[in-house]
Amino acid sequence: MPSVFELPEIIHLLTKYLYMDDLYNCVQVSRSLHTAFIPFLWDEFMLMPTADIQDNLSAIKTHAHHIRRLIFGVTLPTEYYTLQFVNLQRLEFARNDYIDNRYREEPTEQHFQDQIQIVQSNPTVETLVLNDVYPEPSRGFWNMIIKEWKVLYMLMIRRGSFHGLPLPTMEAFWEACARFKVLEFVDTSLPLTTIPVDFKFPHVKTLMMWFLPNEENIDQHTAACGSLNQLELAMKCPTLKALYWHTLKGMTAPVREFQQALLNETWPRLDTLHLSGSSKMTDEYEEPLLTSVVYLLPTLKEWKILQCRIEPLSLSRVLDRHFTTIETLHLALAVGMTGAMVHEVMARCPGLKRFEARYILAEDICHPSSRPWVCDRLEHLSVFIAKPEGSPEGCDRMIFERLSRLSRLSQLSLGGIFRLERPEAEILGRAAQGWSVDLTLNSGLGLLSSFTRLQRFEFKGTQQPNVRVKEVEWMVEHWKRRPLTVVGMFSKNEEQQNEMSKFLRDRGIICIC
């Protein structure tokens, strides 16, 4: 019979809950522990030009086959760029001072040649990350990726500037981009007009565009990466399934062009849409973006909006079309989202698995005419349940009864909201200070014994003046899935809070106050 350390599933599970220092100690205890855990110690490795880097070369060569994720400084000695990592899956280049500001050496032409060498020597890489790398890689670098790397998954570029590069370099860059399945550009200035007119990105399934320029660069960045050009980049991805788009602050989104692209069936597989960053997405058009664009999606599984306004009629229209397919909704930062709209989502979307919203009023749940929730597949719920003055008597128990039917929940967050618009503050009244459902057994907490899968429970920012040790004991007894994390303050009394936190920690529950 094999020992526990010969079962890879068990070893992998153990490493998820051991700190790095614990792993270092384990490998020094015995040969079996060394054999079991040494691959996890070397799974991710960072190579930076430190004083002792030459002393590490022998150890790196010995354990190179364990390294799957490698962070590479851009000014290392040449011999490091010739190393082969036969199982390498993720390669990340970073400016030295991006990792450690003590090392500010600028790259030379030799370093660019060395980068091409490591690309050639490691054809198993699937994910490439460029973190604040300047100057950007050469034409030869991208051509070598096209030639040598066989399975390309993700290209991530953060804080890059590709303006001023020769056209052949940009052509090689776009050709390489077309081979990846996921493209992510964060705070990156791209001359999108250098993409050939008829060029396509046939393999790109996910496109993330997070353009976050500094205020002093906004004019230059806007001219180079206008939202219309960003949309045209997305339109060159015919197999796109997920679009994450953060537009520039104050820039008008090209609603009509976006709408026309959907009418033309540009993305027949698009089912995930994240939009953020521009308040002008709806203000300047008679028909809101959320109606004219989201409504026209062929299928909607995941939808997230930040800093964009949503109106009740717009939401209702989207639900009319997509209520059967929606699985994930992130609406916590949507402007104008009310408690009644939150309730409508939960009463209409039977396939919903993850839902994040700002708040729902106790009255929305407890009113006699309140519709039942149909989202019994929900696994993650984050919403502040607000109890303003005048909330119905006995509403806590009615709320717990509603929640108890969501028996598949693994994460439940009832935490307070901390950024309120003026209308919200007026609606919530005292609830704006965190007055929410009372987490006590007398109020109905015991109904949540149906949460057999719960792994994270949050109530941070809520007022809980009545919670005592017996409630904490009940949580330990009935929420048996481990690891379990509890986030929130049980009591403003420091002694009571410490007592209850210690009680949880002594029983293996992570408690975050």
Percentage of residues of the chain with pLDDT beyond 90: 49
pLDDT of residue 15: 61
Q: What is the largest CA-CA distance in the chain?
A: 75
Structure-block tokens of residue 134: 């300047």
Give the closest residue to 443 by CA, choosing from 471, 415, 416. 471
Number of domains in the chain: 2
What pLDDT, in 10s, does the model give residues 80-136?
Answer: 888 999 999 999 988 755 444 444 456 677 777 888 999 999 999 999 999 887 778
Residue 482 falls within a domain, yes or no? yes
Instruction: Give burial (CB, 10 Å; 0-12/13-18/19+) of 196.
Output: exposed
Amino acid at site 195: I
Structure-block tokens of residue 289: 């973006």
Cβ–Cβ < 8 Å for 282, 253: no
- CATH number of domain containing 390: 3.40.50
Whether the bond between 202 and the residue before it is cis, its omega within 30 degrees of 0, is: no
Structure-block tokens of residue 170: 């940009």
For residue 35, the 8-state DSSP code is H
Confidence check: pLDDT of 282 > 50: no
Confidence check: pLDDT of 197 > 70: yes
pLDDT of residue 49: 66
Look at 513 and 281; give whichever has higher pLDDT: 513
| Residue 159 zone, left/alpha/beta (φ > 0; ψ -120 to 50; rest) | left
CA 291/CA 317 separation, integer angstroms: 7
Structure-block tokens of residue 227: 């939202």
Confidence check: pLDDT of 512 > 60: yes
Segments forming the whole domain that contains residue 405: 362-513
Structure-block tokens of residue 99: 């990792």
Confidence check: pLDDT of 253 > 70: no
For residue 418, the 8-state DSSP code is -
Residue 136 falls within a domain, yes or no? no
Give the closest residue to 192 by CA, choosing from 225, 223, 159. 225
Q: Where are the beta strands (DSSP E) in 388-470?
A: 411-413, 456-458
Residue 353 falls within a domain, yes or no? no
Q: What single string gives the DSSP state of each residue in 83-142?
A: ---TT--EEEEE-HHHH-TT--PPP-HHHHHHHHHHHHH-TT--EEEEES-SSPP-HHHH
| Buried b or exposed e, range 27-45, using 16+ CB within 10 angstroms | beeeeebeebbebbbbeeb
Beta bridge partners of 90: 69, 127
Q: How large is the average pLDDT for residues 128-151?
A: 91
Confidence check: pLDDT of 399 > 60: yes
CA 269/CA 258 separation, integer angstroms: 15
Give the closest residue to 111 by CA, choosing from 81, 131, 90. 81
Residue with structure tokens 């929940």?
A: 409
pTM attached to this predicted model: 0.85
Instruction: Give burial (CB, 10 Å; 0-12/13-18/19+) of 60.
Output: middle
CA 270/CA 295 separation, integer angstroms: 12
Helix, strand, coil abundance in the chain, percent, nearest 5 = 40, 20, 40
Say whether 246 sits in a helix, a strand or coil: strand
Confidence of residue 226 (pLDDT cuts 50, 70, 90): low
Confidence of residue 224 (pLDDT cuts 50, 70, 90): very low
Structure-block tokens of residue 286: 């008679």
What pLDDT, in 10s, does the model give residues 364-384?
Answer: 999 889 999 999 999 999 999
Cβ–Cβ < 8 Å for 340, 315: no
CA 68/CA 87 separation, integer angstroms: 6
pLDDT of residue 333: 85
pLDDT of residue 11: 63
